[in-house]
Each structure stands twice: as C-alpha cells, then as structure tokens.
C-alpha cells in the first residue's frame, strides 16, 4: 500500500525501517507532543515492536512517512470501539529535521481522504496538547474544526497540560 505525496510517500512499514525510526523517534522534542505510549528514549527494540504491530492491521491504518531512503515519521488512525465505532482518532509524528516543510499537512490531507474512503467512519478527531501550536495549525489547514479544550487533562514530562479537540466530519452526499 502506497499513497504519493509531492516529495515523499505514505507506505506500509517494513522490518528494515526500524533503524531510521529509532534514529528519528529518539528525540525529546517529538516525545513531548505525544502520549507516553511513545517511549523516550526510543530504541531499536521499540521500533521493531511498533513495526510488528503496524504490519498486522488489515486494512492498513498506520503508515510510514518516507523518503526514497528512510522513514521520517508515521501517521495513522485508530478506529473507535463500542458507541464510537464510526469514529477514528488521528495521530502522527515527523522527524524534527523535516518540520515546517508542509509534509505533515499533506500527509494529514491524504490520510483523512483514505480513511473516509476505506472505513465506515464519519468523524476523525485529534487531541494535540495546547503547547503544540504547530499541530493545531496543521489540523486547521486540513479542515479540522476546533471543538474545545480539555483543561488540565494530561500530565506530560511532569507538567499539567490542556488538550485541544479538533475534528473533521465526513461530507455526506445529499
């Protein structure tokens, strides 16, 4: 499975991606914007574990963001359960040397289109920390609407933070 971006691509993970994932994911600036399920320090073992989990999803819900040579990030959706079965949560990270190039904006647009086309979902949400203004801007550029703030809802790196709620709703044919 591959989705073309202008200069990069979204593709399925391969076992030999572990080295580049560990190289770029082992970055405190990335970890600070993600949930604690994303470890820090991030090791080759963590990368191999992630790849093995990402590879079993069919249809694919997690993709490598890659150049021709290496993986530079990841993007995916987690489909809701129970009464949330027609919703998904979006998550992503990008290697710091590639920030501010529009890569994540393009990847979010592509993954939203892919998700609405391939899954029985009507809503995709994201919950960046209030300190992650870059992610909030990406979501807004991609058509996500700001729905609210969860005050003091997480503890990250010993700090109490707010989360922002953004969502995009599938356009239904009239």
* CA distances from residue 152 to 135, 147, 158, 163 in whole angstroms, order as listed: 18, 16, 12, 8
DSSP sequence for 22-87: HHHH--HHHHTTS-TTS-SS--HHHHHHHHHHHHT-SS--EEEEE-SS-EEEEEEEEE--GGGTTE
What are the residue boundaries of the structural domains of the chain, listed by start?
2-121
| Contact in structure between 32 and 39 (CB atoms under 8 Å) | no
Just give the CATH number of 2-121. Answer: 3.40.630.30
d(C-alpha 9, C-alpha 53), whole Å? 20
Per-residue pLDDT of the chain (174 residues; tens, 9 = 90+): 789 999 999 999 999 999 999 999 999 999 999 999 999 999 999 999 999 999 887 778 999 999 999 999 999 999 999 999 999 999 999 999 999 999 999 999 999 999 999 999 999 999 999 999 999 999 999 999 999 999 999 999 999 999 999 999 998 864
Residues in the chain: 174
The pLDDT assigned to 174 comes to: 47
Q: What is the pTM of this model?
A: 0.94
Q: How far apart are the first and last CA of the chain?
A: 31
DSSP sequence for 35-47: -TTS-SS--HHHH
């Amino acid at each position: 499975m591959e989705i073309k971006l202008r200069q990069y691509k979204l593709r399925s993970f391969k076992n030999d991606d572990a080295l580049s994932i560990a190289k770029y994911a082992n970055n405190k600036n990335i970890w600070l914007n993600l949930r604690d399920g994303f470890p820090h320090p991030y090791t080759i073992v963590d990368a191999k574990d992630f790849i093995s989990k990402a590879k079993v999803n069919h249809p694919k819900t997690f993709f490598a963001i890659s150049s021709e040579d290496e993986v530079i990030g990841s993007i995916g959706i987690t489909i809701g359960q129970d009464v949330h079965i027609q919703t998904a949560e979006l998550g992503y990270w990008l290697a710091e040397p590639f920030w501010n190039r529009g890569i994540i904006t393009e990847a979010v647009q592509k993954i939203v289109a892919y998700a609405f086309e391939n899954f029985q979902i009507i809503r995709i949400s994201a919950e960046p920390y209030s300190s992650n203004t870059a992610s909030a801007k990406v979501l807004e550029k991609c058509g996500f609407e700001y729905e609210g703030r969860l005050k003091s809802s997480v503890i990250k790196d010993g700090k109490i933070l707010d989360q922002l709620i953004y969502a995009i709703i599938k356009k239904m044919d009239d």
